[in-house]
Structure 1
Amino acid sequence: MRRAAVCLALLLCLLWTGAQGEDGGGTGKKEGEFDIQGAHDQSSSQTQMRTDIWAELKKLRDMAIEHRIKIQRLEQDNTATQVRLTASESKNAVLETKMSSSEKEVEEVKRENAAFESRMSSSEKEVEEVKRENADLLARVTASEKKSTAFESRMSSSEKEVEELQRENADRPQVAFSAGLTNAGAVGPFTTATTLKFSKVFTNIGQAYNPTTGIFTAPVRGVYYFRFNAWETRLTWTSIELFHNDKRIMVISDLHDGTGHVSASSAMVLQLEKGDVVYIVMPSSFGVYDDVFNRIIFSGFLLFPQ
């Protein structure tokens, strides 16, 4: 644009100079004089100048047109650039908005991560606590299993002992009896010593007691327990004796000297050989009394064989 303005200024100067020449300035001729050769030269010079000026103007016009086209293109480029810049600014604004939102999201994620890390730390502590509890529980379970194993071993041993005892008991004879004397009431006195026959049999396991004879016969060698008693309502002496085979072992007696009744009882543990006998004898001149209330009982049983 500056170059075109300079060219126009020069063109105006040339036109002004040509106009001065036409008015006769600088020819030295007086007014009214006519110089043919000079006029011809001046006309040729002016024609040539006009040609040059027009040529220069044409160049200037072409240059101005070219510059205008370039300016239009630049303006178009500038417009496009501005459009792109506006779009870019819009995009930048959107990106800034997104960036701001992303930063907020990042901050939120950071807070969530901090909370998650706190929860993770708490969870890890809980896991450690659970591990310790599990370790304690495992130790207790292990100890319990050991105790259970020991208990099972003891139980197995006890079961074996019980089985052994059961076998021994199964193999060992079972002997026990208990019998009452009579329901008849008064028995005796007799003129001679009399073996009492306890005829009311309540128990006779092993059938070692004979109610017909009143005699207990040991089926095996062993230790036996016996219990017996006497009871009387009459005003007289009462007495009974415990015999082992032919040997008198114990005597119990009492005197009834008033109203009511008298009684006496005793017990003994005897070691018997197989076939030994035990029985109760009432001496002569003594009496006893028994009835449905089973006041006199003779009992015995095997404690253990030998």
Structure 2
Amino acid sequence: MRRAAAFLALLLCLYWTGAQGESGGLTGNDITQTEIQSEILGVKSTSDQTNITPDIWAELKELRDMAIEHSVELRNSKSKIEKLEQEKLKIESADMMARLKISEHVMEELKMENTDLLDRVTSFEDKNKVLEARMTVSENEVEELKRQNADQPKVAFSLGLTDSGTIGPFNTDITLKFSKVITNFGQVYSPTTGLFTAPVRGAYYFSFTTLDGRNNVRREVHLYHNDKRVLNSHNYSAHSSESVSNSLVLQLEKGDVVYLVLPAGQSVYDSAEDFTSFNGFLLFPL
């Protein structure tokens, strides 16, 4: 029992020594064998222990050294752990910085792409506005042309003379009256009078063909503008069934008349096949 009490006192002494070392107090090197002996002797006098062998002192010293060594190793381990944690934090911080730089670079590229896209969209919108403006102009021009075309009179005629065969010759000049109306847009030609009357001031195109079935005769026909002869067409042939054809463009005022005249002594021939015809139309108003 006395040995157990002495050993317990020794353990309490070692625990106190370790606590002083950790708290910055006495270290293992500061505790001398004499101090330990004094403490043990105090325990001895208290517990009436009368005998402690030298082996116990050696064991106590070995235990104290082990406790100090463990305390130092614990502090070193803590220091190593702190260093490792700091290194880990540095690595993680460097990795985060690198990732942040990559993200910033990607963000700059996206900003540049977005700017380029906005520029392209703006350019497209500008081109689209130009196209819309041109389309509006074109539509307006088309509408104006439609209006002009609607306002422009429809003037055109194509006529055949007769189905009765030969007309003439006569002792005087006569106006040929084309009785077979093929087309007469605007009702500009009168089969009764044989006159084409211009409905508007403009440029007009006229053409005619006449056929004469006689032999060895002079074939002739005249085109008149009002009372003025503007075209004299003729030929001479020993053969029968010769035709005379001609055409011209006239500038007419509104109300002017155009007609074909068969001179005295001349004749023309026509049938259902329209060998003799008279045609005209408005080229454009003036």
Question: Shared fold (TM-score greater than 0.5)?
Answer: yes
Alignment deviations for residues 81-136 of structure 1 (CA, whole Å, 9 cap, x no partner): x89x9699689869957974784575356346425513532541452354245336
Work out the CA distance in 2 between the residues paired with 1:87 and 1:257.
151
The 5-angstrom pairing of residues 262-281 of structure 1 reads: 262-274=243-255, 276-281=256-261
What is the CA-CA distance between 1:224 and the residue it aligns to? 3.8
Query: Which of the numbers 225, 230, 237 marks the counterpart of 1:244?
Result: 225
Work out the CA distance in 2 between the residues paired with 1:131 and 1:141.
14
2:212–2:240: 8 Å Cα contact kept in structure 1? Answer: no
Work out the CA distance in 2 between the residues paired with 1:95 and 1:184.
136
Work out the CA distance in 2 between the residues paired with 1:249 and 1:279.
10
1:71 matched to which residue of 2?
10
2:46 matched to which residue of 1?
none
Which of structures 1 and 2 has the bigger CA Rg? Answer: 1
2:94 matched to which residue of 1?
110
The answer to whether 1:128 aligns with 2:125 is: no
The answer to whether 1:182 aligns with 2:162 is: yes
Q: Which amino acid aligns with 2:260?
A: I
Query: Which of the numbers 163, 176, 179 marks the counterpart of 1:196?
Result: 176
Work out the CA distance in 2 between the residues paired with 1:267 and 1:300.
10
The 5-angstrom pairing of residues 26-105 of structure 1 reads: 70-75=9-14, 100=84, 103-104=87-88
Work out the CA distance in 2 between the residues paired with 1:94 and 1:152.
83
Alignment deviations for residues 23-68 of structure 1 (CA, whole Å, 9 cap, x no partner): xxxxxxxxxxxxxxxxxxxxxxxxxxxxxxxxxxxxxxxxx99976
1:256–1:262: 8 Å Cα contact kept in structure 2? Answer: no
Alignment deviations for residues 195-217 of structure 1 (CA, whole Å, 9 cap, x no partner): 22212212212212112332223
The answer to whether 1:151 aligns with 2:131 is: no
Aligned to 2:224, the other structure's residue is in SS state: strand
TM-score normalised to the size of structure 2? 0.60
2:156–2:281: 8 Å Cα contact kept in structure 1? Answer: yes
Work out the CA distance in 2 between the residues paired with 1:113 and 1:259.
112
2:208–2:247: 8 Å Cα contact kept in structure 1? Answer: yes
Q: Which amino acid aligns with 1:216?
A: F
Q: Which amino acid aligns with 2:263?
A: P
Structure 2 vs 1, CA of residues 87 and 214 (structure 1 numbering), >3 Å: closer, same or farther? farther
Query: Which of the numbers 272, 275, 281 marks the counterpart of 1:295?
Result: 275
The gaps in structure 1 that reach 5 residues or longer are 1-63
Alignment deviations for residues 207-247 of structure 1 (CA, whole Å, 9 cap, x no partner): 12112332223345555433223234543332211123343
RMSD: 4.5
Work out the CA distance in 1 between the residues paired with 2:75 and 2:181.
122
2:158–2:279: 8 Å Cα contact kept in structure 1? Answer: yes
The 5-angstrom pairing of residues 137-148 of structure 1 reads: 138=122, 140-141=123-124, 143-144=126-127, 147-148=130-131
TM-score normalised to the size of structure 1? 0.57
Q: Which amino acid aligns with 1:178?
A: S
1:29 matched to which residue of 2?
none
Structure with more helix by fraction: 1
Identity percentage of aligned residues: 32
Aligned to 2:111, the other structure's residue is in SS state: helix
Alignment deviations for residues 118-171 of structure 1 (CA, whole Å, 9 cap, x no partner): 353254145235424533653x347536635753674576367447635743xx
Q: Which amino acid aligns with 1:253?
A: H
Work out the CA distance in 1 between the residues paired with 2:11 and 2:178.
155
